[in-house]
Structure 1
Amino acid sequence: MTKKRIQIDTSINAPVTQVWDAYNTPEDIKMWNHASDDWECPSSENDLRVGGKFKNKMAAKDGSFSFDFEGTYTEVTPNKSISYVLGDERQADITFQEEAGKTNMNIVFDADDTHDAEMQRSGWQSILDNFRKHVESK
């Protein structure tokens, strides 16, 4: 069965090197990696290389629920692109493109079979919007 692919994107008012670093540095990841203000990312590990793994803990601030969002990198081209596969074999592909001092990011990922596709798109887009705000406030 072919997985449904979902696409999200943003334009960040910062050079690609700054965007790349903020996207891949665990201390930064903990600051932006949540879909809403009642969630947080209390821990992040990132081994950014082909075959390397990442693990970000996503947790409700009230302590009611948490999970690890983790995967393995399949492609890493510094300041250009990242691809990874999640534990359930879903894939995500991210591109970074600098244009006139701004960085355009595009993420395409396989939808899971459990949640509504629009809910997944909205959640991932909210995280990406938090990321944009984090970078632009640095």
Structure 2
Amino acid sequence: METANHTPITVETTVNLPIAKVWESWSQPAHITKWNNASPDWHSPYADNDLRKDGRFKTTMAAKDGSVSFDFEGVYTDVKEHELIEYTMGDGRKVKISFSCDGDQTKVTETFDPESTHPVDMQRAGWQAILDNFKTYTEKNF
């Protein structure tokens, strides 16, 4: 299993809603805490999001059994409403999220620098699972 890969990883989904609703679900802490988990045994009990260039975000991700938690945080380097979000994570890795709409469908494409601890396939699967939860939550609640 490859863990030293420095090639960015891309995951994507298409949400069957207009961009304004997708953006709202992606950016508001009250929604982030509802969809930001990779599996049912995890959750995000806290989220703070200052979505603007140089703004900061922080989301606590935790096992529901209380055994472990960590903060996922960073600083926004570019934000174009309904189009683009770029940020640098606390460990220096970069993330780019693009939003493209076609009527009542919005494609979300997320590209991120992998970390070196976990296998690339595991990272891709985890980020894709979170994105899939985002799609499911957003389509059900908007």
* TM-score clears 0.5: yes
The equivalences for 1:67-106 within 5 A come to 67-106=70-109
User: Counterparts of 1:92 and 1:3 in 2: how far apart (Å)?
Assistant: 13
User: Counterparts of 1:61 and 1:106 in 2: how far apart (Å)?
Assistant: 28
User: Counterparts of 1:54 and 1:3 in 2: how far apart (Å)?
Assistant: 24
- Does the 8 Å CA contact 2:5/2:120 hold for their aligned counterparts? no
User: Counterparts of 1:118 and 1:58 in 2: how far apart (Å)?
Assistant: 20
- Listed as ranges, the gaps of 5+ residues in structure 2 are none
Q: Percent identity?
A: 45
SS of aligned partner of 1:63: coil
Aligned residue number for residue 26 of structure 1? 29
SS of aligned partner of 1:18: helix
TM-score by length of 2: 0.95
The equivalences for 1:52-63 within 5 A come to 52-63=55-66
User: Counterparts of 1:76 and 1:3 in 2: how far apart (Å)?
Assistant: 24
Report deviation, 1:2. Answer: 8.2
Equivalent residue letter for 1:67:
F
Report deviation, 1:117. Answer: 0.3
CA RMSD of aligned residues (A): 1.2
Report deviation, 1:95. Answer: 0.3
Aligned residue number for residue 11 of structure 2? 8
- Listed as ranges, the gaps of 5+ residues in structure 1 are none
User: Counterparts of 1:85 and 1:21 in 2: how far apart (Å)?
Assistant: 21
Deviation by residue 1:7-66 (Cα, 9 ceiling, x = unmatched) = 000000000000001000000000000000000000000000100000000000000000
SS of aligned partner of 2:57: strand
